[in-house]
Amino acid sequence: MKIKKFILITIIFGISLPILPTLGFTQNEEKPQLSGIWSNASRTSLTRPRGTETLVVSAEVAQKMVRNMSIAGISRENIEAGPAIDPETGAPPAGGQDFGLRGYNLFWTDPGSNLASVKGEFRTSLIVNPENGQIPRLATPQVEMERANFGARYLTGVGDAAGPEAIPIAERCLIGFGNTAGPGMMGTLYNSTYQFVQTDDYFMISVEMAHDARIIPIFDSAKEARANLRPEVHQPWFGDSRGWYEGNTLIVETVNINSLQMSQSSIPISPTGRIVERFSRYSDSEIVYQFTVDDSNLYSQPWTAELSYHVTNGPVYEYACHEGNYSMPGILAGARRLEREEAGR
C-alpha cells in the first residue's frame, strides 16, 4: 500500500522516483522482473524503408543505413555541414518549406546511434508481422475516423491558431509526441528514457517525454482483467489498460483510448479496437517489448511490432515543455492581433 501511495504522490507532485535496482533474471522465473531505468532509443522506424527486404541486417549494414538517415527531416548532408541554424544568417523565412526542418539544432537531438537491437539482432523495422514490415491498412476503412495531419505546420511554422484545440496535443504538452507512452511505445527524437516500477498489484510506466505516466492494475487472469474495465464513457489518455501474467511475460491489453489522442496517433485504432503489449525479460540488461494492434475496422489483419528496452543508469531528465508554457499563448495572441489588423482596427 505504501508503494502504491508513493507512486501516486510521485505522479501528482512530480517528485523524482529513486533509481531502482535492475533485478536479476533467469528464464525460469515465474514473473519477469521489470523494475528499473530503461531506454528504447534507436534509429529504426515503425515501418521498413523502401528497398530493404530483410528484417535483420549485420552490424556493418546497420551502420551504413544509419549514416544515410536524416534526423528530424534534416538530411545527412546538412547534418555533416553543422548546426541546423547558421547563427550568422539566422532562421529561415517563416512559412518556407524548410522552416521547421531547420528549426532543430542537432545538439538537442538524441535519437540513438544505431538501429534497434533486439536479442542481439539489428532490426530494419519495428514491425515484425506482416513480414514485409508494413502496416496492413485497409484500402477502405470500415469506420470513419477523424485524422489530423500536422506535417505542413511542422514544415512551415504556419498553422491554424483559431484556439487551443487547433494546436496539436503534443505541442500543447498534454502528452508526448511520437507515441512515446503508447500504447505501442516507441522511441523518438529525444527523451526516450523510461522508469518501470513493478509491484504485486500495479505496473507503473513513467515516461521521460512529457512525464507521461501509465499506472496499470494487474489481475490474476485475462478474464478477470477484462471484467474490471472502466465504464466506456471514460476515455483517458493512453486508454484503459489492464495487465496479467502468462508465464514469464506481462500482458497489457488496452481499449478505449481517448479519441483525440487517436486522431493524432501514428497507431490509430477505432473505438472497438485494442492494443496488446507484452513485456518479457530477455537478459539482465534487456526487456523485449511487443505490441499487437488488432482492429479489423482499419487493418486487414492484426499486426505486431517488436523492440527492446535496454538498461541505462539514467538519469530521467526533467521535460520542461516550453511550448505549452509560453509558445501557445504567444501563438494565440499573435493570431488575434493579425485578425485585428486585417479588420482595420
Strand-pair partners of 246: 249
CB hemisphere CA count around 165 (13 angstroms) = 2
Q: Is residue 7 part of a domain?
A: no
Q: Is residue 319 part of a domain?
A: yes
Q: CATH number for the domain including 299?
A: 2.40.128.20
Can you tell me which residue has the cell 517563416?
94
The yes-or-no verdict on residue 11 having pLDDT over 60 is no
Question: What does the mean pLDDT of the chain come to?
Answer: 86
Report yes or no on whether pTM surpasses 0.95: no
pLDDT digits (tens, 9 = 90+) for 83-108: 556 667 766 666 666 666 665 566 67
What is the number of structural domains in the chain?
1
Among 289, 94, 303, 307, residue whose Cα is nearest residue 205 = 289
Q: What is the pLDDT of residue 92?
A: 67
Q: Is residue 15 part of a domain?
A: no
Q: CA-CA distance, 149 to 154, in Å (whole number)?
A: 10
Q: What is the pLDDT of residue 52?
A: 96
Name which residue leads in pLDDT, 148 or 28: 148
Q: CA-CA distance, 161 to 165, in Å (whole number)?
A: 9
Q: Is residue 305 part of a domain?
A: yes
Q: Which of 28-32, 130-134, 172-176 has the highest mean pLDDT?
A: 130-134
CB hemisphere CA count around 293 (13 angstroms) = 33
154's CB contacts (< 8 A; 6+ apart) are: 100
Can you tell me which residue has the cell 482499419?
298
Q: Would you put residue 292 in left (φ > 0), alpha (ψ -120 to 50) or beta?
A: beta
Q: Is residue 189 part of a domain?
A: yes
Report the pLDDT averaged over residues 118-146: 95
> Which DSSP category does 106 fall into?
G
Residue range of the domain that includes 306: 28-47+126-342
The yes-or-no verdict on residue 25 having pLDDT over 70 is no
Residues 34 and 248 sit within 8 Å (Cβ to Cβ): no
Q: What is the pLDDT of residue 204?
A: 98
Report the pLDDT averaged over residues 172-198: 94
**How many Cβ atoms from other residues are within 10 Å of residue 175's Cβ?**
22
114: amino acid identity, one letter: N
